[in-house]
Structure 1
Amino acid sequence: MTQTLEALSRRTETLTSIRGIVHTMKTMSAINAVPYERAAESVAAYHQTVLNGLRAFMAKTGPIAMPVAAQAERILVVFGSDHGLCGNYNEALASHARAATEATDNTRVLCVGARMKDALTDQGLTPDTSFLPPASADGIGRLAGDIVTRLDEVGGGDLHNRVAVTLAFTRRAGRGQREPVMAPLLPLAPSLLSAPGHTGWQSRSLPDYTMSATPLFAALLRNHIFATVFQASAEALVTENAARLALMQQAEQAVEDRLEEVGGQFRLVRQDEITSELMDIIIGFEALKKKPSV
């Protein structure tokens, strides 16, 4: 009986330690998500500024018809995670990426994270290039710059005419869920270049610029591409931490339930031991009462 109580005590101590670790991981996931959320909000505001610049450019020059490449190389950029404790984050997105590439041939795959590379390989996709995921929000700009540079290399300096790029990442959905997203990046959507010319410039001041139109347009498009890649990466990191937070909450609840169960077993065993000790005392007392006097 004593050994059983000791075993239950050790189990309770172990579960209490695990609960502390899980609580710490949950807190870290919640804290880590904040800088990525702020980065996503900041780049969204920056992206809107770039789009306003494009709209101003179109309002002065008129819509631009980009040439369509007949044999554009298809590129899929998949944003994964190298951190654990986030469930099937990589596997689910890799499966979705595989389904998206079945309808097309000769798709070149670029991925973020060694674990995503393994997940894609398991799906029969061999990534052409693997990028290191950012360790903090400050590294998102580095990652976005590396991806844009690699795309520019593949496109031979003519991204808009030689490649068709799709971004695959996971974003937050309703009720704490997440969903895979396949977001087209290139070629540019016709509305991006034509709509501003049709809607006009919504201001009492007319837009103007002093630098040459060609380099200005190229800079606006490059910043649009950079901001889109940056935003996809930031959203993927926010979702990763949200997935880890949800799993840690489930794990914490499971540990709490187990602790309650072990605590109930401990109380029952302890009560049985106390009852047994009381019975021994009573039996001994009765034996002494019946003992004949000398």
Structure 2
Amino acid sequence: MSQSRRLKQHITQMEDIRSILNSMKNLAFIEIHKLLRFQTMQNKVVEAIEDAAADFLTFYPYVPDTAGSAPPIVIVIGSERGLCGDFNDSLINEMATTAYADVIIIGSRLANKWPDTYPEPMATIEGANTAEEVPDVVNRLLGTVTSLQETRGFFELKAIYHDSALNRLSHLTLLPPFQEAAQSHPRSGFPPLLNLDPADFFADMVEHYLFAVMHKLCYTSLMAENHLRLQHLDGAVLHLDNETVKLRRKFQIHRQEEITEEIEVILLNVENL
């Protein structure tokens, strides 16, 4: 096979790869716009619950008994897929600076990269590929947390996740809940009218809050993952475009040389005749 033909074949392969990467980039772009809608609605739900909790706690304060409690359990939200840069590596590096003994990992890619020197995860949950898969992830996560509550009783629960709006890793305390909201909400007006015992009301509100806030964290993390994937694929497509331009130049040079050689052979044959 001539050099120009090999280059032409290589260019075709590069163009096929570019087409695949460009399709993946478009899918990530579509997913970001879809997640934006989900995330906006979920943020409003969480804010409404936090406002109601702050109003409730100003009149019915809750002080968790953390004396002698076990170290916090941390939920680390990674990715289920690749092509998202250092998304999982940054979570692993962040965990190196903390002292969490118990970890719940979300995302198979993160679980596969989890160092052997780190604490063994208490549970590993498959992450979401799309926004539609988030509810299933949250249900499995809540099931894991409920099982831990039945065996351990009270414990602190924290989450570490990517937040593209802040462009950094974020930490959030899930249990005990509403600590910042209760402190920042001034006491005014009359206490809320309840149809339940305050303790029962608070327990139900915490359950709704966990359900809502875990959806919010998963949507936020998936949004950040797709932003990184979009950047990563943009860079890959640009690199392929640059390499393809170089190959086309080489192809033209070799093709011109081959054409010149063919013309020379023809002329020699004519002279011999």
Alignment of 1:109-120 (within 5 A): 109-120=103-114
Matched, 1:167 2:159: yes
Q: Which residue of 1 aligns with 2:169?
A: 180
Q: Is the 8 A contact 1:98 1:123 kept in 2?
A: no
Larger radius of gyration: 1
Matched, 1:69 2:66: yes
Q: Is the 8 A contact 1:98 1:125 kept in 2?
A: no
Q: Which residue of 2 aligns with 1:236?
A: 221
User: Structure 2: how far apart are the matches of 1:95 and 1:131?
Assistant: 20
Residues 214-262 of structure 1: CA deviation (Å, up to 9, x unaligned): 2222222222222222211111111111211111111111110111001
User: Structure 1: how far apart are the matches of 2:6 and 2:180?
Assistant: 69
Alignment coverage as a number of residue pairs: 272
Which amino acid in 1 is paired with 2:12? E
Q: Give unmatched runs, 5+ long, in structure 2.
A: none
Which amino acid in 1 is paired with 2:78? G
Which amino acid in 2 is paired with 1:251? A
Which amino acid in 2 is paired with 1:49? A
| Secondary structure at 1:109 match in 2 | strand
How much does 1:158 deviate?
8.7
How much does 1:147 deviate?
2.2
What percentage of residue pairs aligned between the two structures are identical? 18
Q: Is the 8 A contact 2:107 2:126 kept in 1?
A: yes
Matched, 1:139 2:121: no
Q: Which residue of 2 aligns with 1:3?
A: 2
| Secondary structure at 1:130 match in 2 | strand
Q: Give unmatched runs, 5+ long, in structure 1.
A: none
| Secondary structure at 2:89 match in 1 | helix
Between 252-261 and 227-236, the greater mean CA deviation after superposition: 227-236
Q: Of 84, 87, 91, which aligns to 1:86?
A: 84
User: Structure 1: how far apart are the matches of 2:179 and 2:11?
Assistant: 63
How much does 1:83 deviate?
1.1
Return closer, same or farther for 1:206/1:139 CA change in 2, 3 Å cut-off. same
User: Structure 2: how far apart are the matches of 1:12 and 1:127?
Assistant: 45
Q: Which residue of 1 aligns with 2:237?
A: 252
Q: Which residue of 1 aligns with 2:123?
A: 129
User: Structure 1: how far apart are the matches of 2:152 and 2:188?
Assistant: 28
Q: Which residue of 1 aligns with 2:201?
A: 216
| Secondary structure at 1:181 match in 2 | strand
TM-score normalised by structure 1 residue count = 0.81
Alignment of 1:10-29 (within 5 A): 10-29=9-28
Q: Of 104, 108, 116, which aligns to 2:102?
A: 108
| Secondary structure at 2:145 match in 1 | helix
| Secondary structure at 1:100 match in 2 | coil
Residues 16-38 of structure 1: CA deviation (Å, up to 9, x unaligned): 11111111111111122333332
Return closer, same or farther for 1:128/1:206 CA change in 2, 3 Å cut-off. closer
User: Structure 1: how far apart are the matches of 2:251 and 2:114?
Assistant: 48
Q: Which residue of 2 aligns with 1:274?
A: 259
TM-score normalised by structure 2 residue count = 0.86
